[in-house]
Structure 1
Amino acid sequence: MPVITTPFGVLETLPSIEFFSGGTVQSCIAARSCPLFTPLGSLVPQFTASSLRKRQLPAISFHPNGMLRNLPLEEQVMVPTPLGMLPAEQVTFYDTGAVKRVFPLNGTLSGYWTQEDEAAMATPLNLDTPIGCARVKPVCVYFGPEGNLRSLTLWPDTVLEVPTPLGNIGARSGVSFFDSGVLRSLEPASPVAVRTPLGELLAFDQDAVGICGDRNSLRFRENGALLGLTTAAHAFEVELENGRKRTLAPPLRRHPCDGERMEAGSITLDFSPGQVSFTFADSPRIKVKTEGVTASRFFLPLPSLSPMCSMGAGKW
């Protein structure tokens, strides 16, 4: 097996090694137990893939300057972080050596190991966050280069009560912060009424993926002002630059579980002084003055009636 020397120790690896153009190692896969002496202490990279949870061997990756970038671990261990000791099965680093992300779990989802199986292994953690002490099950804890908390990605079915400039809002999926500690964004767990320059709108992103909590649909500026939101509950009549009126409504699409039913897609709104931008699927962004926008509730149209009698008596 190839043997490579890193600033953190010697690695015996599988043959598939990638290099940067300058000749330093970009990524490799550990072939046996090889402890690395990292900024977080001695850690053993993952070198086995013999369980339902871990059927693949992820690569160890490095920054061009030789610093560790991504380190999957053989077993869950406690690592020191700016929030104290946290459990980790995968950690990532900045090129300075500062910890960037901590993943308490790192199982591979498959037909043999589901998201529910992995979530059942998650344990609640007490974290000292910019919004106070929070007891959550994080998928990922993301730090800035100076050690400040930038975001929490949450397991599905986890709801965190978050104080916001709009009052307390239950957040799912994720919550993020500016480097100053001010709330940056969150993913509402249910539709929430938000005061906007267009009036009160219901903010909720039904399509939120929840893989990463860094960017969420309800967004704020650092001064606490509303930056943007996502909604499928409203339509908007806007006045374009040429003076014409246009109605922007949530796009209709087939329901993924029932091809006969339609559902409303989402519209994303971004606010700037005196203006608002609308973005929705397969359409260019539309930016107009807020004074020329009228918002109204949007309801799905009733399904068209078939001319066939449901009792089998033919057309009527």
Structure 2
Amino acid sequence: METIVTRFGRLRVEGPIERYPDGAVRAVLPAPGSVLQTPLGAFTPRYGSEDERKKTGASLEFHGDGSLRSVMLEERTTVPTPAGPILAEQILFYPHGAIRRVFPLCGRTSAYWSEEDEARLVDPFPVATSQGVITARFMGIGFDAVGRLKSLTLFPGEIVDLATPAGRLPVRIGAAFYPDGAVRSVEPGRPTRVHTPVGVVLAYDPDATGVTGDVNSLEFDQTGRLVRAATVRTLVTIRAQDGSKREVRPAFRESLCGNARTEPVAMWLTFEKAVVTVLRRPGEPGIACCPGGTGTTGAVDVQTTILPPEGLFSSMGAAACTGAPTAF
């Protein structure tokens, strides 16, 4: 058993010590009974893996300058954060010591411990935001370097209502914020009608993942202008200067559930000043349009139409295995 000297005192460690190329300590597994004294309080790093949900390996990580980068805690501990006290199992830090992200839970999923098992360990708790206190089961809360709320990440199945530049929307997975508290992006909790510069669309991304709420499919700039949206069941009609018309319809793929059926692929619309870009599906070239001007299509008009569901999504009940709603 070795002992290392850190900014937070001497620590006994078990197992190998990970180091940076210059020899500075990068990550360790502290010995039982180790206590880390920090400006936020005393924390006991995780020192063992006694059950199927606890992660193995180093539980204490440092930045290259020796400052604390991450600590996984032996027991959930109340951590004072800019959004209020949070019962946490892992904390990430900026080099200057401010909290970067807090995780209420830090378990690992496996054949013996599911995401649902993990979620049952946390109850809804309040988080202070620019829109007031929001109570939900959060997977993670992120802050910028000066302590302003940067993002919220929700547990799967959680939906909260948030005020956005597009109106009040149901939000799943997460939301990101600008430094002044304005909404930067959200992940719509269900297909939702949203007004865009080219018409109304059903905003929703069936493939959205819940890793973090830092980046989401419905995005706004700091003035509240819509800059990006993933859509379903939406037709984009492009009329060119020569009078011709092109219809961009939703794409489909073989179901990821392995049931030989098809499921929808989100169509992406981005809005940059006078340019609208339509991406029908990943891997295909985007179609850049300049309504009222020119573009790769020579378009003079771009309009959207929400398509009726009849006959369009006959397999959506089966596609629910990917997290999509059973009806669009």
Please report the TM-score for the alignment, with normalisation by the length of structure 2: 0.85
Determine if the alignment matches structure 1 residue 296 to structure 2 residue 305. Answer: yes
Structure-to-structure mapping, 1:1-316, within 5 angstroms = 1-238=1-238, 247-279=247-279, 280-291=281-292, 292=299, 293-298=302-307
**Hey, what's the Cα distance between the residues in 2 that align with 1:260 and 1:267?**
22
Structure 1: distance between partners of 2:254 and 2:75: 43
1:253-310 Cα deviation digits (max 9, x unpaired): 111225331112112211111111233312234332134233334566699xxxxxxx
Identity value in percent: 36
Opposite residue 114 of structure 2, the aligned amino acid is T
Q: State the match for 1:309 in structure 2.
A: none
Range moving further from structure 2, 56-65 or 72-81: 56-65
Give me the whole-angstrom Cα distance separating, in 2, the residues matched to 1:266 and 1:46: 41
Structure 1 CA distance for aligned equivalents of residues 263 and 305 of structure 2: 18
Aligned AA for 2:97?
A: G
3-state DSSP of counterpart to 1:270: strand
Determine the structure 2 residue equivalent to 1:310: none
Distance 1:14 1:132 in 2: 44
Paired letter, 2:217: S
Give CA deviations for 1:117-155 in whole Å, capped at 9, x if unaligned. 111111111222111111111100111111111111011
Structure 2 CA distance for aligned equivalents of residues 210 and 166 of structure 1: 22
Residues 247 and 130 from structure 1, CA distance in 2 versus in 1: closer, same or farther, beyond 3 angstroms?
A: same
**Conserved 8 A contact 1:46-1:57:** no
Mark the runs of 5 or more structure 1 residues left unpaired by the alignment: 304-316
Please give the secondary structure, in 1, of the residue aligned with 2:116. helix
Query: Would you say how many aligned residue pairs link Structure 1 and Structure 2?
Result: 303
Query: In structure 1, what is the Cα distance between the partners aligned to 2:244 and 2:6?
Result: 64
Counterpart residue type for residue 166 of structure 1 = A
Q: Identify unmatched segments of 5+ residues in structure 2.
A: 293-298, 315-328
Contact 1:187 1:216 survives alignment (8 Å): yes
- The answer to whether the Cα contact below 8 Å between 1:202 and 1:231 also exists between their aligned partners in 2 is yes
Question: Aligned partner of 2:303: which letter?
Answer: T
1:39/1:98 contact within 8 Å kept? no
Q: Which letter does structure 1 place at the counterpart of 2:46?
A: Q
In structure 1, distance between residues paired with 2:306 and 2:192: 14
